[in-house]
Amino acid sequence: MGRSPCCEKNGLKKGPWTPEEDQKLMDYIQKHGHGSWRTLPKNAGLQRCGKSCRLRWTNYLRPDIKRGRFSFEEEEAIIQLHSILGNKWSAIAARLPGRTDNEIKNYWNTHIRKRLLRMGIDPVTHSPRLDLLDLSSLLSSPLYNQSHNLNVSRFLGLQPLMNPELLRLATTLLSDNNLDLHLLQNLQENNQLCNSPVQTQFPSFTSNSLQNPIPGIPACTTSTDPYPPPLLNETQFPSNETSFSVWQDNVDLPCNLTDNLIPMSNYSYYSADQSLANPLSEYSNPQSTNQNFIFAPVLSTPSSPSPTPLNSSSTYINSSTEDERDSNCSNMLKFELPYIFDVNEFM
DNA sequence: AAGTCTATCAACCGCTATTAC
DNA sequence: AGTAATAGCGGTTGATAGACT
């Protein structure tokens, strides 16, 4: 393994390709195929490394590459695929004919990611951002003052919306008797708070609503069962421990997995847990990754009244401004995976 | 008109996965 | 089975064009 020797500094040219170089590369590949990328530059008369040639060919010169602005259908597909695959750009590109992984990656980083952030959506988890919540007002509330043995997630009723890291931070801070509210206020000030669409788009819900968020949808279950058992009700929660061990250790699937699901609309769920939102992510704990479970909530549900097909053009008008795309984007996030996405392909 | 800022995207870097021996 | 070569991937950088002051 290790680095490819072709990347060594051996006088090979770097930087932008000239039309002459492009022509040489295209001519050679059309005649001989690319064969071994390592030997190609020498055979083609190019002062480039094989890696550079491969990149130029796959990202720019390949005849089947579609150039130009991404359509709404493509953008919709990217968002949907990214919610399942994470930053697996090549896997996403494989499902968008004519688009390269590099192009999709660039488009994501320069357009879609920014738009999601503006909407208060975490582009990594595709869930609302905790940093839009007001921590200091939370801490000054009477509920907090009643008990220091606070189960923060229960208190908030917002566990499904939370970033585990921030939950952990909040737990640590709240469990500290010397808690400095100023510290939290500073934390909050650094969190770019804004008027969030989250409140209306993703209303918080109680454990009761989570217990059976959609009639007819079975509750979740552990990794050995297709669905987990019903959630504990309020009185069943351990009184003097937080539920954050689920996030911290994450050795087994949380028993209350429905906490990780956000109903994104009246017919689909969304995972708030990064490891669930991005099941193929290398960061997800393999032990906690039950493939059957992970995709079940993300996929179409029986209660779905009107699936939105990937290629549907009726969903969005052909607007072109960023604001219009923002608006359309919020709809995209309420997606339901169309049947043409066979999730087994991603496994 | 000139300078500065911002957005875009082609290309590179460094790493892992796969293949060949 | 072990090692080296190669292919491929994802993150990042830097050049450049266009917008803005």
What is the residue-level pLDDT of chain A in tens, covering all 347 positions?
A: 333 334 444 678 888 999 999 999 989 988 888 888 888 988 888 889 888 998 899 888 988 888 888 888 888 899 989 988 888 998 899 888 889 989 999 999 888 988 888 888 888 888 776 665 555 444 544 444 444 433 433 433 333 334 444 444 444 443 433 333 343 344 343 443 333 333 323 333 223 333 332 333 333 323 333 323 333 233 333 333 333 222 333 333 333 322 333 323 322 333 333 333 333 333 333 333 333 323 322 322 333 333 333 333 233 333 445 555 555 555 555 444 444 444 444 44
Every domain of chain A and the residues it spans: 10-61
Q: Go through A29-67 and write b for each residue having 16 or more CB atoms within 10 A of its CB, e for each that does not.
A: beeeebeebeebbeebebebbbebbbbbbbeebeeeeee
Q: Does residue A87 approach strand C to less than 7 Å at its CB?
A: yes
A292 close to A226: Cβ distance less than 8 angstroms: yes
Q: How far is CA A288 from the centre of its chain?
A: 18
Strand B neighbours (CB under 7 Å) are A 1-4, 7, 13-17, 51-52, 55-56, 59-60, 102-103, 105-107, 109-111, 114
Q: Which nucleotides of strand C lie within 7 A of protein CB?
A: 4-12, 15-16
- CATH architecture observed for domain A10-61: Orthogonal Bundle (1.10)
How distant is C1' of B1 from CA of A122, in Å?
42
Q: How far apart are CA A306 and CA A311, in angstroms?
A: 14
